[in-house]
Structure 1
Amino acid sequence: MKRIVLLLALCSFSFGMAQSNLNDLLAAGLNDAERFTTSWLAPVTEAGIYSISNGWYNTADAKPLAGFEISIVGNITGFKNKSNKKSFTLNTADYENVQFVDGSSSKEVATALGDIEGVDVAINATIEGQQVSAQFELPSGLSSEDLNFVPSGYIQASVGLIKGTEVKARFLPKINTDDVSIGLYGFGIQHDFTKHLPADKLLPVAISAVIGYTNLSGEYDFTDTGAVSGENQRIDTKFSSWNFAAVVSTRLPVINFYGGLNYITGKSDTNILGRYEVETAGPDIVYNDPFMINNKVSGVSGNIGTKLKLGFFRLNADYNIAEFSTLTFGVNFGFR
């Protein structure tokens, strides 16, 4: 265990691909490596999709024409009590070449969110006509680094257009480090139905519909971190999500409360890219861009929050209850 990928870098999304020996699984062959990686990654991609889907609104009261708000939004998606998402059962009967060193036929192993360490497997098999012998420790996850959340963050802008309609955009500039690159963008629309009522100015609440789309892309280079040699070894991941929400809020001058019912749907595409050279008794087995993993997520969530407005400066926070619950907070600067 050596590093967490982009841990809270500028409050951006943490992939949770913490274990750099993930590429060792290719010593077991493509089928086993893809099967394990699919199970290992699924919970962290699900948490990531829920995380980036939040923060689209802090009121149901849409801004008037030319009204605007610029926000810095952060999400913390927790999984501390999600024991069913931190591990999965690895049954060697489902694998072609993976065996536990201690002779077990089935064992709980960590996902990318988990904390199970010290699980050693051995490969002694003929793969693509070559004899492969290897032994390594299975990867653990974020909990083994005492992390129980997946963060995301971005800058968001909202502008009022015609009566009751507001458009939104979110953006995280491309961030590049030695091992990681990451970026995010999104767009949304909100429509306040109460703006069409004759007594709009007198109503104590506003009711809106919000639709938001978010796209996150990131890449993690782990060329020098595993036992399987090669070059340009990396994980390339793209997340996309839609949030369809019904929102209600109070319409008071300073402190307001809001809540929403959301339907979230999204997907992730994860490519294992690069050149991988598995050492054998004869010629090395070489894999180029070995496989891609897809994961789809959907679910209903509900949130409740509050917003403090002090002139052009505003603060908001809400808690979203879902399969992966999220705390969202925002610092906002607005006019009208």
Structure 2
Amino acid sequence: MKKLLTLLLFTLVTTVSKAQNDIDALLAAGVEDAQRFANDYLAPGTNGLMHSMNANWFNSGKAKPLGGFEISVVVNASQIQNENKIFNLNTSDYNNISFSQGSASQSVASVLGENDPPIFVQIQYEDPIFGNQSQTLELPNGIGDGTANLLPTAYIQGALGLSKGIELKARFLPKYDTDEVSVGMYGAGLQVEFTNWLPADKLWPIAISGLVAYTHLDGEYDLTDSSGILGENQRIENVTNTWLFQLIASTKLPVINFYGGLGYLKGTSESDLLGTYRISNGIVTSEPIVDPFSVSSDVATVRGTLGTKLKLGFFRLNAEYHISEFNTYAIGINFGFR
């Protein structure tokens, strides 16, 4: 429940740490095999959250005038498709792992899926006393349907009009700390309205802008009490950085407006398994494995956006939908002036 609660508080760290006990256990098969599995297992989750992190950067193509501002509470959710819940594990790509049953290549759960029925693998390893040994291990499940097939994020965002069609934006997720989890997020963006520079811009029925935005997330999950493997200072650390380049167009009506755009999202998420690990079969303990591995995933994709915004005095409400590798829903409650 604690891990699920952390995910609902919009942390990337929980998806990275969902099955850390089993990924740790794969170290018995060797660092290279454990790293390969962890990379394929985690990538759908980190990629989906990079899409979720970059929704709702804008709700209009019209930049705010000098001194105009808006404060927003934004909630986003990337949609998990069936193809995101699995990946193909081909044992020919591994040194010491084979399936207990079935073919050498099977679809297994990613961090977003669930193995039903359970899937078991055989791990081969060399014992310094007893020679070649094997161990049966159940492959880890992910979050399954535990979050209604959605990857949520949330943050507070502010926007300030500077002048000449330029609007500065900033967003952040307040630092969240427990004994096991630490996570925080921040970002900044610059929106420039091109139609503001044209003659008689007030006569144009639409506003057209360009946006560049950067988002950073970092988190840590302490494995000390849950690893199940001897060692010290065991933890997972994640750093995620994304860039969004977006073209925006919107109507310029007094109450209800519609907006849309075409954008390009690029980002990298890096996760490090850190600390000291000693693999033991109950009799013999291996040499310490220090900072075993790092894994990463990347996104570089085009996305389309459709949205609408309702304005009632200083109160605004917007909703939007992004079409990309991970389709994303977003809503925002906004309070602004001008």
TM-score, L = length of structure 1: 0.93
Structure 2 residue 122 is the aligned partner of structure 1 residue 122: yes
Q: After TM superposition, where is structure 1 displaced by more than 6 Å over at least 4 residues in a row?
A: 127-130
Answering whether residue 95 of structure 2 is matched by residue 96 of structure 1, we say yes
Kept after mapping to 2: 8 A contact 1:208/1:248: yes
User: What is the CA–CA distance in structure 2 between the aligned matches of 1:176 and 1:135, rounded to whole Å?
Assistant: 36
Residue 284 of structure 1 and its aligned partner are, at CA, apart by 2.3
Aligned partners of 1:27 and 1:132 also within 8 Å? no
**TM-score w.r.t. structure 2 length?**
0.92
Partner of 1:217: 218
Aligned equivalents of 2:128, 2:172: Cα separation in 1: 46
Q: Bigger shift: 27-36 or 130-139?
A: 130-139
The runs of 5 or more residues in structure 2 that have no matched partner are: none
Among residues 293, 296, 299, which one is paired with 2:295 in the alignment? 293
1:2 shift after superposition: 8.4
2:20 maps to which residue?
Answer: 20
Q: What is the alpha-carbon root mean square deviation over aligned residues?
A: 2.1
Distance of 1:16 and 1:332 partners within structure 2: 29
Identity %: 47
Task: Report the number of matched residues.
Answer: 333
Pairing of 1:236-251 with structure 2 (within 5 A)? 236-251=237-252
TM-superposed deviation, 1:127:
6.5
Deviations 1:5-53 (A, max 9, x none): 72211x5556423223221111111011001001101111111111112
The CA distance in 2 between the partners of 1:110 and 1:66, in whole Å, is: 50
Contact map agreement 1:214 1:242 (CA 8 A) in 2: yes
**How far did residue 123 of structure 1 move?**
2.1
1:304 aligns to 2:306 (yes or no)? yes
- 1 CA distance for matches of 2:132 and 2:291? 22
1:327 to 317, 326, 329: 329
Cα deviation code 1:262-304 (max 9, x no counterpart)? 1100111111111211014534232111111122210000011
- 1:152-171 matches, within 5 Å, as 152-171=153-172
Distance in 1, Cα, partners of 2:284 & 2:112: 37
Q: Which moved more, 1:263-272 or 1:93-102?
A: 93-102
**Quick one: distance in 2 between partners of 1:327 and 1:241?**
18
**Does the 8 Å contact 2:3/2:14 carry over to 1?**
no
C-alpha distance in 1, partners of 2:128/2:293?
17
Paired residue for 2:232?
231
